[in-house]
Amino acid sequence: MKKMFLILVVLTLGIGNLSSAATVVWDDGLSHVIDTPTYNLYRVDSFLDVNPDPGTTVEIVEGGVTKHFYSGGNSVVTVNGGVISEGYYLLHGSHVNIHSGQLLGGLYSDDREEGLPTAGNSTISMSGGLIDGNVTLVNDTMTITGGTVGHFGVYSSELHVYGGTYAEPTYFQDDLFNIAGGDIYLYGEFDQGYGVFENVSVAHHYVYISGILADGSPIETYCHIAQGTGKLHLVPEPATLGLLSMGVLLISRKRN
């Protein structure tokens, strides 16, 4: 809860400074490209009463530089380069694909309805690039196969990690993954074996994780699980899963 409070304070402070940037609104259902340093604030399908279907699409490529970036509704945003310098905010059903580029202010995705109509949960797919800062997911789904990321807060969401580079802990409280609702799935080969970890009895529980992710990247970190709120899943990568299945089959045949 303390981490959630700090994140919300930071976001509130950031939103308070938005007036210093020019604002560009795209709610037209068309395709747009950001390929120059504009340093603007962008809102894409962010006004729920006028969101088009299909949604607006935006591609950020090398050379493109923005400040804050908002996307919502049915929008599809692809980051193929460039820089978002002061935070990416997803609301109400936006879909984001990150292949390269830099998100220097972190990423915050929130699909709580709060009395407003929504287009569904947001989805984030990351195969490359850098998210420098916290990734906070609220009622959303994120899949990572590559890239570099800082720390995660997962609240009633799903995070699937197949690869990538992550922060290394300096002590046990410096946890990479923080679960306060929802599920985190790590795919690979782990020294702790495989299975589901949860916390039903204490206020804070830390799980040490070490091993190799499915893409071959090493991982060594901690996962913090708040009491009664979520689960950590250590899942064999497909190749390992196949070997385990063959082993079970051979044992079964020998017994028969």
pLDDT tens sequence across 55-112 = 899 999 999 999 999 998 889 999 999 999 999 998 878 899 999 999 998 999 887 6
pLDDT in the model for residue 239: 56
pLDDT in the model for residue 117: 46
Length of the chain: 256
Q: Tokens in use for 210?
A: 């070490």
Q: Is 70 exceeded by the pLDDT of residue 12?
A: no
Residue with tokens 């969401």: 157
pLDDT in the model for residue 184: 95
Q: Is 60 exceeded by the pLDDT of residue 169?
A: no
Least confident of 140-154, 164-178, 212-226, 235-249: 235-249
More confident residue, 247 or 41: 41
Percent of the chain's residues with pLDDT above 90: 48
Q: Tokens in use for 191?
A: 């020294």
Q: Is 70 exceeded by the pLDDT of residue 30?
A: yes
d(CA 105, CA 70): 12
d(CA 143, CA 147): 11
Predicted confidence band of residue 10 (pLDDT cuts 50, 70, 90): very low
Instruction: Confirm if 141 and 191 have CB atoms less than 8 A apart.
Output: no
Predicted confidence band of residue 176 (pLDDT cuts 50, 70, 90): confident
- The residues near 100 (Cβ < 8 Å, ≥ 6 apart) are 62, 79, 80, 81, 128, 129
Q: Is 80 exceeded by the pLDDT of residue 153?
A: yes
C-alpha closest to that of 142 among 102, 112, 183, 176: 183
pLDDT in the model for residue 168: 59
- Model pTM score: 0.82
- Whole-Å CA distances, 47 to 12, 34, 70, 110, 220: 19, 20, 10, 15, 41
Q: Is 90 exceeded by the pLDDT of residue 244?
A: no
